[in-house]
Amino acid sequence: MVKGKIKLGRRTKDLVKRLQPGEIAVIDHQDLDEVAALSLMEAKVRGVINASSFISGRYPNPGPKILLSHGIALLDNVGQEIMEILKDGDYISIVGNNIFKNEQYIAEGLLLSSSIVETKMKQARENLDHELDKFIINTLEYAAKEKSLILGKLNLPQTKVDFTGKHALIVVRGKNYKKDLRIIKPYIDEMKPILIGVDGGADVLVEAGYHPQIIIGDMDSVQDSTLKSGADLIVHAYPNGKAPGLKRIEELGLQAEVFPAPGTSEDIAMLLAYEKGASLLVAVGTHTSMLDFLEKGRKGMASTFLVRLKVGSILVDAKGVSQLYTKGTSLQHVACLFLAALIPMLVVLDSVPATQQILRLLSLKLKLILGW
């Protein structure tokens, strides 16, 4: 049995900001992804009730397994009605598959166990080939439609920041983003790149003690205080110019530029820095794999494929660097990582003429590897 007060929210990333330790989260989140699961775990919830399916079978999403491994109860597929029946602050009990409020039966779902989750994940893995086939077809189809991202002339917004010859760090709220940002702290402190937060990535920069210079995105998952921090605000608009996120900016009494373009906000953040003359792009938390995009509910990655074709010569993706490096790294691992570190250095050699700057970057790489 699990008891506690509840808070409801159809957008998990917004709900976690309101949750208190020991509460039960009531969400409507099909295929709970890893980032959402980690945010619920960090909120120290006691249980999670999902109006939708934690695992639909489309792909093996890791979120439910993460929560179960931390002792968080999961009640699956309760139905949409639960979002109307309950309200914030209600005290409920989960007994088996059932929900009770004031000892009165409310709704029924399926209490997930490790064995149930593993069975569902196995079925999802078996379906992955089918999803991959659809994903590739969709990506290629839309790549043909969106090729203007690399061939056409973009209507770039004005910025107070001058990118010419500088490094730019682009932070997205994606897998391992917090750990990766911590690992590259020596690089940030030494090189002082232009800091770009993509939607909630701007909050991540603030939490880490940095001041984002540019915030770009739909503006639907950034805290008001971060938007008011003085950064250049760029609202991602549809290709036709419609920008739903601009309304929030105006309601806050702020001003923003509009950037109409297809694709994701992290794509246009890279394009912005590239087209304005940045010499190196460093990306944290970005989405690059099929599973990344399925977790975001996208059926393809055409724009990301195209953008990386365009900016790849100056792009260093820091995603997952926290998994490569640990304090206990052996000398053999250090040697391997040192050789791997030479690859982005070759990119820098092509784009930065100053030899002294190159040597400083190489020094930073060694610091990251050796933990100095």
The residue assigned the tokens 């503006």 is: 219
Spatial separation of the C-alpha atoms in residues 30 and 63, rounded to whole Å: 11
Read off the tokens for 7.
């808070």
For 348-358, what is the mean pLDDT? 50
- Between 331 and 200, the more confident residue is 200
Give the pLDDT of residue 233.
96
Q: Is the pLDDT of residue 274 over 80?
A: yes
Read off the tokens for 66.
């993460």
Q: Is the pLDDT of residue 257 over 90?
A: yes
At 279, the pLDDT band (50, 70, 90 cuts) reads very high
List 338's β-bridge partners, or say none.
none
216: part of which helix (H) or strand (E)?
A: strand 214-217
Q: Is the pLDDT of residue 271 over 80?
A: yes
At 360, the pLDDT band (50, 70, 90 cuts) reads low
For 142-164, what is the mean pLDDT? 79
Spatial separation of the C-alpha atoms in residues 185 and 187, rounded to whole Å: 5
Domains 2-123 and 148-322 share a fold: no
Q: Is the pLDDT of residue 47 over 90?
A: yes
For 130-150, what is the mean pLDDT? 71
pLDDT tens digits for range 309-337 = 788 889 888 766 655 555 444 445 545 55
Give the pLDDT of residue 329.
45
Pick the CATH number of 2-123 from 3.60.15.10, 3.50.30.10, 3.30.70.3340, 3.30.1130.10: 3.50.30.10
Q: Is the pLDDT of residue 155 over 90?
A: no
Chain centroid offset of residue 27 CA: 19
Q: Is the pLDDT of residue 11 over 60?
A: yes
pLDDT tens digits for range 32-45 = 988 899 999 999 99
Residues 6+ apart with CB under 8 A from 279: 165, 166, 167, 314, 351, 352
Q: State what percent of residues in the chain have pLDDT above 70.
A: 78
Q: State what percent of residues in the chain have pLDDT above 90.
A: 53
Domain 148-322 fold: Rossmann fold (3.40.50)
Q: Is the pLDDT of residue 18 over 90?
A: yes
Give the pLDDT of residue 120.
94
Say what the alpha-carbon torsion angle 131, 133, 134, 135 is, to the nearest 10 degrees.
Answer: 80
Mean pLDDT of the chain: 83
Give the pLDDT of residue 357.
55
For the chain, give every domain's residue range. 2-123, 148-322, 325-372
- Between 3 and 305, the more confident residue is 3
Spatial separation of the C-alpha atoms in residues 216 and 266, rounded to whole Å: 8
At 54, the pLDDT band (50, 70, 90 cuts) reads very high
The predicted model scores a pTM of 0.66
Question: In this structure, what DSSP letter does residue 256 have?
Answer: -
pLDDT tens digits for range 231-245 = 999 999 988 889 999
Strands 110-111 and 73-76: antiparallel
Read off the tokens for 209.
């003690």
Least confident of 65-74, 164-173, 310-319: 310-319
